[in-house]
Structure 1
Amino acid sequence: MENNFKMVAKTLFGFEELLAKELKQLGAQAVTIGVRHVSFVGDKGFMYKANLGLRTAIKILKPIAKFKVINENDLYNKVNAIPWENYLKSDGSLAVGATLNGDTFTHSQYVSLKTKDAIVDRFRDQTGERPNVDLRFPDLKIDIHIDRHFCTVSLDSSGESLHKRGYKIATNIAPINEVLAAGLIMLSGWDGQSDFMDPMCGSGTVLIEAAMIACNIPPNLMRNEFGFERWGDWDVDLFEKIEESLLSKTRDFHHKIMGFDKSPSAVEKATQNVENAKLEDFIYIKHEDFFKTQKGGEEHLHMVFNPPYGERLDIEMETFYSSIGSTLKHKYPGTNAWMISSNLEALKHVGLRPSRKIKLFNAKLEARFSKYEMYAGTKKTHKLEAKND
């Protein structure tokens, strides 16, 4: 186990428990929950596995140094002392990102610049050459996290954010982040044992993430590249072995995943994305206005959707949200409907009492993820039946 090292998986607010559970299921050790992140221990192969297989992680970082910093010059000196030649060639390329918390360091771009200077100056002093900055495709992506006076320097093993799965080729006005979509489905408790619907499916992200969860398909199989593929210790044979191992755990799915949207262009984009994800055998998309539909059959239906919030779409929100409530109530018996919205005022007009409400963020917007349970018959009848079972 001497090849094990500590890593940090970053996530969205409210998904920390989900991510910790995912990590444990994958086989991580020493899993510890923080705010918007979970730390864990594993080896290089597990780092590959975490990037390929985690649905709710945005980044997998490998910390290489921790120290106290009092000002920018102190930061420069301590970063300059790190043996960067162990991680990067003098003719390579780098990019630096910084997140700051506290009053001493307040300008993330300046911290990134100072870090970059410290690294390139070390190479120039030692070899006369210096690495270049490449913000798009660097050989090494470096993450600086300063919490008040404590600085953690990490290598970003993911490269681009892990929400960029690789299947999305067409998007709408307000697309949902893939990590957010996967986390919502997992929070809703859907286990692939019933039909699933997104009645306002947009570009199909929720549907695709649901199908991957149902079939246990690793979420990041379609990505072009991970950050670690440019590292000096990149092991393609080990990566392919990990990939095969994850693929061997896929499972059959015997229910339906359905998507509606009243916009023909959204239906077209969703269909393209589903085909690109090679999931057309599992997902059915139809050009429909949800408010004019009704549930087919007696089977239980699980619904997760992301309706317009009014941020970027011009809709009469009170009427719209009221229509959501009445459609669910009168047309969708036997349904658990989960809906995320940052329009907290409009949510009051749904006219249904949620059985659960979870505080989350969609980008920087504070949102609520609400569950509405639609019973077949009255709620009273449902309770009596449950009592008699």
Structure 2
Amino acid sequence: MGKNYQMVAKTLFGLEEVLAEELRKLGASGVTSGRRSVSFMGDLGFMYKANLCCRTAIKILKPIASFPVFSEDDLYNKVKKISWEDYMKADGTLAVDATVHSQQFTHSKFIALKTKDAIVDRFREREGTRPNVDLMHPNLRINLHIDRNRCTVSLDSSGGSLHKRGYKTAITLAPLNEVLAAGIVLLSGWRGQCDLLDPMSGSGTILAEAAMIACNIPPNLNRDEFGFEHWPDFDPDLYETIENAALNKIRDFHYKIKGFDIDGKALQVSRGNIKNANLGEFVTIERQDFFESSKADDKPSFIIFNPPYDERLSVDTEAFYQKIGDTLKRGYPGTQAWMLCGNLEALKSVGLRPSRKIKLFNGKLESRLVRYEMYSGSKKAKKQH
């Protein structure tokens, strides 16, 4: 059993509690939600597990130092004192990401540059050689966060963002971030207990994430690499043990996950991505106009989708969203419909009262995840049962 230490999982706005619940279920202790982040305690093996299994985490950071800073020179001197030789070799490569929320420090790129200089100078002075910068595939990715005058230096155990699962080799015009797609499915409460339809499936992201949730497949199984694989203390045997334990928890799924799209290119892209993720036995994608469709049976089901909303895809939003409402009312009784919409005005055209609204961001676009309860028969009759 390794030593526990604090880590921070970064996420998207609105998914903090979803991620906190994921971490608790995986076995983390001391789980505390913040803004776009969740802090927790775990050991080396749990760090591997969090990277492999968290669906709504973007990064898993390991803080190594925290101190007050009052000037750029102060930052340089304190970063330089950190024993960087414990974390990388002098002939290795590094990259620094910085975020600043401070009146004193306002330029994140300059802060990142100052941090890099401090690390490089320490190696040069101690060993006569220095690491190089590699922004794409560094041996060590460092995260620097300054909040007012408090600086936290962390190692980025993930490397590239965890939304890059590895299965999406092609995208459509307005692709959905994988972490956001998984978050939407988890927020909806769907875990594979009934059929699921994405009637405007685009790149197939919601379908892929839903299938992995239903089968309990680790979301980052297809990734090429994690940042921690380049660390001096990387334990490949321990990682293999963690991976095998996660694979042993994959479960059967006995319902249908279906996608519709009317665009030929989107169909080709989504089918390719589902195939890359090895999810073809769980997901079917058909060329079908949602507005001309209806439910095949009277069993309970979920619809989860991200329709176009005139940001990157051009549609007549008023007419389009009215059709969405009409189709749900006419063709999909006994369905819980969840829709992510980035056009808050367009939601008024649906003509249905949402039973829940959740604020999220799709990229920088403020959005709402809304739930519509499509009852079989009248709502009044439903409540009397």
Please indicate, yes or no, whether the TM-score normalized by the shorter chain is above 0.5: yes
Instruction: Name 1:23's counterpart in structure 2.
Output: 23
Instruction: Name 1:339's counterpart in structure 2.
Output: 339
Instruction: Name 1:273's counterpart in structure 2.
Output: 273
The CA deviation string for residues 269-318 of structure 1, in whole angstroms up to 9 with x for no partner, is 10001111111100010011111111111111101100011111111111
Q: Which runs of 5 or more structure 1 residues have no equivalent in the other structure?
A: none
Q: Secondary structure at the match of 2:99?
A: strand
The CA deviation string for residues 72-102 of structure 1, in whole angstroms up to 9 with x for no partner, is 1111111011111111111100000001112
Shift of 1:382: 1.2
Q: Distance in 1 between matches of 2:383 and 2:237?
A: 56
Q: Secondary structure at the match of 1:234?
A: coil
Q: Distance in 1 between matches of 2:321 and 2:372?
A: 13
Instruction: Name 1:129's counterpart in structure 2.
Output: 129
Aligned pair 1:348/2:355, yes or no? Answer: no
Q: Distance in 2 between matches of 1:46 and 1:302?
A: 33
Q: Distance in 1 between matches of 2:203 and 2:93?
A: 35
Instruction: Name 2:165's counterpart in structure 1.
Output: 165
Instruction: Name 1:9's counterpart in structure 2.
Output: 9
Q: 1:208-287 residue pairs with structure 2 within 5 A?
A: 208-287=208-287
Aligned pair 1:107/2:122, yes or no? Answer: no
Q: Which runs of 5 or more structure 2 residues have no equivalent in the other structure?
A: none
Instruction: Name 2:298's counterpart in structure 1.
Output: 298
CA contact (8 A) 2:2 2:44 kept: no
The CA deviation string for residues 178-202 of structure 1, in whole angstroms up to 9 with x for no partner, is 0000000000010211000100000
Instruction: Name 2:67's counterpart in structure 1.
Output: 67
TM-score by length of structure 2 reads 0.99
RMSD, aligned CA = 0.8
Q: Distance in 2 between matches of 1:189 and 1:339?
A: 13
Q: Secondary structure at the match of 1:349?
A: helix
Q: Distance in 2 between matches of 1:352 and 1:281?
A: 34
Task: Please tell me the residue identity of whatever aligns with 2:331.
Answer: K
Task: Please tell me the residue identity of whatever aligns with 2:68.
Answer: K
Instruction: Name 2:147's counterpart in structure 1.
Output: 147
Q: Secondary structure at the match of 1:103?
A: coil
Q: Secondary structure at the match of 2:345?
A: helix
Q: Distance in 1 between matches of 2:367 and 2:136?
A: 31
Task: Please tell me the residue identity of whatever aligns with 2:47.
Answer: M
Instruction: Name 1:187's counterpart in structure 2.
Output: 187
Shift of 1:383: 1.4
Shift of 1:378: 1.1
Instruction: Name 1:175's counterpart in structure 2.
Output: 175
Q: Distance in 1 between matches of 2:315 and 2:127?
A: 61
Task: Please tell me the residue identity of whatever aligns with 2:298.
Answer: E
Aligned pair 1:313/2:279, yes or no? Answer: no
Structure 1's consecutive aligned runs of 4 or more residues displaced over 6 angstroms after TM superposition are none
Task: Please tell me the residue identity of whatever aligns with 2:284.
Answer: Y
Q: Distance in 2 between matches of 1:210 and 1:319?
A: 29
Q: Distance in 1 between matches of 2:57 and 2:246?
A: 17
Q: Distance in 2 between matches of 1:368 and 1:190?
A: 18
Instruction: Name 1:330's counterpart in structure 2.
Output: 330
Task: Please tell me the residue identity of whatever aligns with 1:380.
Answer: K
The CA deviation string for residues 235-269 of structure 1, in whole angstroms up to 9 with x for no partner, is 11110000000011111100000000110110111
Q: Distance in 2 between matches of 1:256 and 1:198?
A: 11
The CA deviation string for residues 54-79 of structure 1, in whole angstroms up to 9 with x for no partner, is 00100000000000001111111110
Shift of 1:327: 0.5
CA contact (8 A) 2:160 2:227 kept: yes
Instruction: Name 2:48's counterpart in structure 1.
Output: 48
Q: Distance in 1 between matches of 2:110 and 2:342?
A: 32
Shift of 1:106: 1.1
Aligned pair 1:120/2:120, yes or no? Answer: yes
Q: Distance in 1 between matches of 2:226 and 2:74?
A: 32
Shift of 1:104: 1.2
Q: Distance in 2 between matches of 1:215 and 1:258?
A: 15
Q: Secondary structure at the match of 1:46?
A: helix
Q: Distance in 2 between matches of 1:71 and 1:338?
A: 48
Shift of 1:2: 6.4
Q: Distance in 2 between matches of 1:176 and 1:242?
A: 29
Q: Distance in 1 between matches of 2:299 and 2:280?
A: 22
The CA deviation string for residues 83-135 of structure 1, in whole angstroms up to 9 with x for no partner, is 11111111100000001112111111101000000000001111110100000
Q: Secondary structure at the match of 2:349?
A: coil
Q: Secondary structure at the match of 1:330?
A: helix
Q: Distance in 1 between matches of 2:248 and 2:140?
A: 31
